[in-house]
Structure 1
Amino acid sequence: MTAPLALPDQSEATDLSAAPLEPWQLVVWNDPVNLMSYVARVFRTYFGYSADKATALMLAVHHDGHAIVATGPRETMEVHARAMHDFGLWATVRKASE
């Protein structure tokens, strides 16, 4: 017969609060391959943006070299980045504070 295991001292208080949710950004970068009309169409169909918003984001990508197209939880932005890659766009995820 084996002796029962000793239980740890339960008098310590444990902080179980969740870490604060920090926003992350999805950045789409300019590339020499995709047409501007295609980039705007991807923004409209995938994100559901209006034609005006999709065009403004596409022009930011074209003229500034990149644009922040979405902000939210890291996991969601990583899913969006993968989707952008599947559409053939260059995209990265970064902390919003950067």
Structure 2
Amino acid sequence: MPATRPWESEDLETDILDEQPWSLIVWNDEVNSFDWVIETLVEVCGHSYEQAEQCALLIHHRGKYAVKNGSYDDLEPQCTAITDRGIGATIEAAVRS
């Protein structure tokens, strides 16, 4: 029987989800500009400009997007900082696919 690679393990997704069970969701609106959302994601979440730009496009087209995963305690201050800037954000339990 061939050895199983770690990334082929059925338990890998569960292990990752257990470590990072929460998602920071940013919501689309008709008020905030792309530039403001991008700047916020760079400054608050530590995204690169390119990553923040891609997230902003996904937020716009999907209505919301999980911009970061992690523990609730790590995401809560970032969620607060985003909402303090007038952008809708919530923390939700990560969804298993």
State TM-score, norm by structure 2: 0.74
Match of 2:27 in 1: 29
Who wins on radius of gyration, i.e. which is larger?
1
Deviations 1:33-88 (A, max 9, x none): 10011101111122221111010000011111111111111122222111111111
Q: Which residue of 2 aligns with 1:96?
A: 94
Alpha-carbon distance in structure 2 between the residues aligned to 1:23 and 1:34 = 28
Give the equivalent residue in structure 2 for 1:5.
none
Structure 2: distance between partners of 1:97 and 1:64: 16
**RMSD value, Cα:** 1.5
Sort the Cα spacing of 1:22 and 1:72 in 2 relative to 1 into closer, same or farther, 3 A: closer
In 1: Cα distance, 2:95 partner to 2:45 partner = 23
For 2:65 and 2:44, how far apart are their aligned partners in 1?
16
C-alpha distance in 1 between matches for 2:80 and 2:94: 18
Task: State the percentage of identical aligned residues.
Answer: 33
The TM-score, its normalising length taken from structure 1, stands at 0.73
**Runs ≥4 residues deviating over 3 A:** none
Matched-pair contact (CA < 8 Å) for 2:45–2:78: no
Total equivalences in the alignment: 79
Structure 1 residue 97, shift from structure 2 partner: 2.7
Q: Is the 8 A contact 1:28 1:69 kept in 2?
A: yes
Alignment match of 1:54 (pick from 52, 55, 60): 52
Q: 2:36 corresponds to which residue?
A: 38
Match of residue 69 from structure 1 = 67
